A and B are shown apart, each in its own frame.
Chain A
Amino acid sequence: MSEDTSTRRTHMADAPLLEVREITKFFPIKSGLFGRATNSVRAVDGISFNVLRRETLGIVGESGCGKSTTARLIVDLISPDKGDILFDARRLGTDLTLNELRRNVQMVFQDSYASLNPRLTIEDTIAFGPIIHGVPREYARRLAWELLSKVGLDPKRFAGRYPHEISGGQRQRVNIARALAVKPQIIILDESVSALDKSVEAQVLNLLLDLKKELDLTYIFISHDLNVVKFMADRVIVMYLGEIVEVGPVESIYAETAHPYSRSLLASMPSMDPDHRSEHVALAGDPPNPIIPPSGCRFHPRCPIAIPKCKTEKPLLHIQKTRGHLAACHLTAQQQETF
């Protein structure tokens, strides 16, 4: 059996390591005396994507677009209403248990303090996962020390400390070590460097690059910071109001942006050039309400180039022949036909 899986792995080197199929999550809004669900927030609305082995997949979008919900759905921290998660071609719930999935897919969160147990020492925090998964205590402790030096913290100084005794950057290193402790293949980094100062952020990004190379890791890198995603990711998914609007290789997305939303998002980045400051607002208004999302293309009320069709008909993700990536926009679809 074990031989069987190993041959399957070598044969399917190009097959996706993780597949997300048509996943949907609506959060009910309860109101009134009996707390009946009167409406729902459409956080993630039927999205599908693959994560390839050894790649870094970036997910970008504004707050409320469903980035973090997607991350939590992948590791089943919240259960989807519909849809499947497949790891290594095995479907969660049938031939893959939740324990197996979580041993292979770990997560690092934004708030380094809230995600650590304040009553466990750093060493115990890191050893906790392996012990749960059946590793003997003594061995788990030794592993914790190894991992601490791997993430650049001297175990002699840090192993016995509590989370409140160390700085934010150090805490995030501990979170990374904890994620690595169960030897996962995928790490989901949900805004993991967003709360850090720039100089510390750069240190942690370097650490992530080194670990990826050394341990053959696959990353799902979620961030609202387009610069960091451009630096880290191989492929990028752009999300808007619970849907994927554009997906493809990072160079193609940043250089040959197809979807008007992605284009305005990129144009909202500060220019970094004092001689060419941004002169106009690329994207007016706030993101609309995900409770009652707009009809048709969800971006149409804010879109500068919307046509009547956008209001009524929902565009599907389709390949951009001239660009080499996927986008969901009626107008780029029309341009395709004229080529």
Chain B
Amino acid sequence: MTQQPLVKISDLHVLFKGQKNVCAVNGLSLNLLPGQVLGILGESGSGKSVTLKALLRLLPAHKTEIRGLIEVLGRNVMSLNAADLASFRGGIASMIFQDPMLALDPVYTIGDQIAEVVTRHHGLKRRDAMAYALDMLKKVRIPSPERRLKAYPHEISGGMRQRAMIALALAGNPKLLLADEPTTALDASVQMQILLLLRELQKESGMGMIFVTHDIGVAVEICDVVAVMYAGQIVETGTIRDIVKDPKHPYTKGLLAANLHGAERGKRLETIPGSPPLLESAPTSCSFAPRCAYTQAVCRLKAPEAVTISKNITVRCILETNMNS
């Protein structure tokens, strides 16, 4: 008997309508088990943040067309009504963002903002909620938490704001934490502090986590499994060890080389030529074919199927299809 997945997304399509259409996500499927940390790795425009936002139903309804199934703990997220959605957000799944200055409300103190979440999801009175908020700040190890409780977001440093946002996200005891590049804007030393904190909090609470990043180094520090995204599709899934040590998809290989992984000083790098597709229409062939060194005629004709190589590794590339048929 297999475990029930915490998150199940199958064949998700997200289309933004406007003067020009953008097919941001094109047939994405993934599973996340409880307590697992999944990294979504990709460059800007690959659809990683859109996937996270779709999971919390944060995309503007009138301009977006979403197809496919999104389930969290067996409940269909797409069919939640307003009241259910309010308790779902923050109570079951919550999110931390890249820029805490934009995510936190500038006119309320840190304590007020956390207390609001606590009141809503745990039904506590304000005094108790404030005490709870203080505990949360202690948990994320903000220095002198009593003082920070009464501070406004602009009064504290970037690293501390990120800690405050984590406290805010975890205040409702969610089963799932979505992290959208939470360390990208931080200095290297503060980034490592936040990553270690997230790793520890995740282990302690056993929540599932989806961590979006463009930085393989960050993914290595925090993820169990990684899904590599390109042009709105997952091109390769595997444990972080598989991805770093034995990448299969040509895009993953190129991405690793571009990360100066084992590069020799001053020697030209092996790069992926060109730039990602514009995605004005949904891809009908392999999206990576125009940039790929191993392109064959068939790559431009039809989209490659996802091939399962072993228990954990799935690759969407014709080379693997041929090898395994």
Residues of A within 8 A of B190 (CB): 286
> For the complex, what is the distance from the CA of A270 to the CA of B216, rounded to whole Å?
9
How would residues 179 to 221 of chain A score, 1 for a CB under 8 Å from any chain B CB and 0 otherwise?
0000000000000000001111111011001100000000000
Which residues from 174 to 193 on chain B have a C-beta closer than 8 Å to any C-beta of chain A? Answer: 187-193
Contact A270 B217 (CB under 8 A): yes
CA–CA, A230 and B44, complex, Å: 25
Residues A276-290 near B (CB distance < 8 A)? 277-287
The reply to whether B188 and A268 form a contact with Cβ atoms under 8 Å apart is yes
Instruction: For A264, list chain B residues within 8 Å (CB).
Output: 189
Judge whether A89 is part of the interface by a CB distance below 8 angstroms. no
Q: Is the CB of B271 within 8 A of A203?
A: yes
Interface string of A244-279 (1 = CB under 8 A from B): 000000100000000000001100111111110111
The answer to whether B191 touches A278 (Cβ under 8 A) is no
Instruction: Say whether A199 contacts B241, CB under 8 Å.
Output: no
Q: For residue B217, which residue of chain A has the nearest CB? A: A270
Is A280 within 8 A of B196, CB to CB? yes
**In this complex, what residue of A is CB-closest to B262?**
A272
CB of A63 within 8 Å of the partner chain: yes
Q: Mark A229-243, 1 if CB is under 8 A from B, else 0.
A: 011100000000000
Contacts of A279 in B (CB 8 A): 196
Contacts of A271 in B (CB 8 A): 217, 220-221
B234 to chain A: closest CB distance in Å?
17
Which stretch of B71-79, B112-120, B252-260 is in the interface?
B252-260
Q: Known: A226-B188, A281-B196. Contact between A199 and B217, CB under 8 A? A: no
Which A residues are in CB contact (< 8 Å) with B275?
Answer: 167, 169, 200
- B192 touching A278, Cβ below 8 Å: yes
Instruction: Indicate whether A227 reaches chain B with its CB closer than 8 angstroms.
Output: yes
Chain A residues with CB below 8 A from B216, complex form? 272
Q: Which residue, of A198, A273, A279, has the highest number of chain B Cβ atoms within 10 A? A: A198
Instruction: Please determine whether A274 and B220 come into contact, CB atoms closer than 8 angstroms.
Output: yes
B303 CB–A CB distance under 8 Å: no
Q: How far is the CB of B220 from chain A (nearest CB, A)?
A: 5
Contact B269 A268 (CB under 8 A): no
Which chain A residues lie closer than 8 Å to B217 at the CB level?
227, 269-272
**Cα distance A227–B258 in the bound complex, in angstroms:** 11
Q: Which of B196-228 contact A (CB under 8 A)?
A: 196, 214-218, 220-221
- Which B61-90 residues have a C-beta within 8 angstroms of A? none
A92 at the interface (CB under 8 A from B): no
Q: Which residues of B contact A286 (CB under 8 A)?
A: 157-160, 190
C-alpha spacing A282/B268, complex, angstroms: 32
Q: How far is the CB of B240 from chain A (nearest CB, A)?
A: 5
Residues of the A chain whose Cβ atoms lie less than 8 Å from the Cβ of B158? 286
Interface residue B99 (Cβ < 8 Å from any Cβ of A): no
Task: Fill in one digit per residue for A3-36: 1 if any B CB lies within 8 Å of its CB, else 0.
Answer: 0000000000000000000000000000000000
CA distance A339 to B195 in the complex (A): 40
Residue numbers in B under 8 Å from A227 (CB-CB):
217, 259-260
Once the chains are docked, how many angstroms separate the CA of A250 from the CA of B265?
Answer: 10
Point out the residues of chain A lying under 8 angstroms from B268, CB to CB: 206, 209-210
The prevalent SS among residues of A at the interface is loop
Q: Is the CB of B189 within 8 A of A62?
A: yes
A272 x B269 contact (CB < 8 A) = no
Q: Mark B235-250, 1 if CB is under 8 A from A, else 0.
A: 0000111001100000
Contact between chains at B221 and A62 (CB < 8 Å) = no
Q: CA of A156 to CA of B120 in the docked complex: distance in angstroms?
A: 60
Residues of B within 8 A of A272 (CB): 216-217, 220, 244, 259, 261
CB distance from A174 to the nearest CB of B (A): 15
**Nearest chain A CB to B179's CB is how many angstroms away?**
15
Chain A proximity of B75: nearest CB distance (Å): 33
| Chain A residues, Cβ within 8 Å of B44 | 197
Is A228 in the interface zone, CB < 8 Å from B? yes
Quick one: CB contact mask for A96-137 with B, threshold 8 Å, 1 for yes? 000000000000000000000000000000000000000000
A150: CB under 8 A from chain B? no
> Chain A nearest CB: distance from B233 CB in Å?
17
- Considering the chains assembled together, what is the distance between the CA atoms of A285 and B265 in angstroms? 32
Residues of B contacting A318 with CB < 8 Å? none
Query: Does residue A72 face the partner (Cβ distance < 8 Å to B)?
Result: no
- Chain B residues near A198: list those with CB within 8 A: 43, 214-215, 255, 258-259
Tell yes or no: A224 within 8 A of B by CB: yes
Among A268, A272, A285, max chain B CB count under 10 A is at A272
CA distance A106 to B263 in the complex (A): 28
B18 at the interface (CB under 8 A from A): no
B266 proximal to A (CB < 8 A): yes
Partner of B269, one of A62, A169, A205: A205
**With A202-B271, A281-B192, A282-B192 in contact, is A231–B187 under 8 Å at CB?**
no
Tell which of B187, B258, B273 touches A287, judged by Cβ atoms closer than 8 Å.
B187
Measured CB to CB, the closest approach of chain A to B1, in angstroms, equals: 29
Interface residues of B in 258-294 (CB under 8 A from A): 258-261, 263, 265-266, 268-273, 275
Q: Would you mind naming 16 contact pairs between A and B with Cβ atoms under 8 Å apart?
A: A62-B187, A62-B189, A197-B43, A199-B255, A202-B269, A210-B268, A224-B187, A227-B217, A230-B265, A231-B266, A272-B216, A272-B259, A278-B195, A278-B196, A283-B189, A286-B158
Interface residues of B (CB under 8 A from A): 43-44, 143, 157-160, 187-193, 195-196, 214-218, 220-221, 239-241, 244-245, 254-255, 257-261, 263, 265-266, 268-273, 275
Shortest 8 CB-CB contacts between residues of A and residues of B: A270-B217, A202-B258, A283-B189, A197-B43, A62-B187, A202-B271, A268-B189, A268-B188
- Given A278-B195, A281-B196, 6 new contacts (CB under 8 A): A167-B275, A224-B188, A230-B260, A269-B188, A277-B221, A286-B190
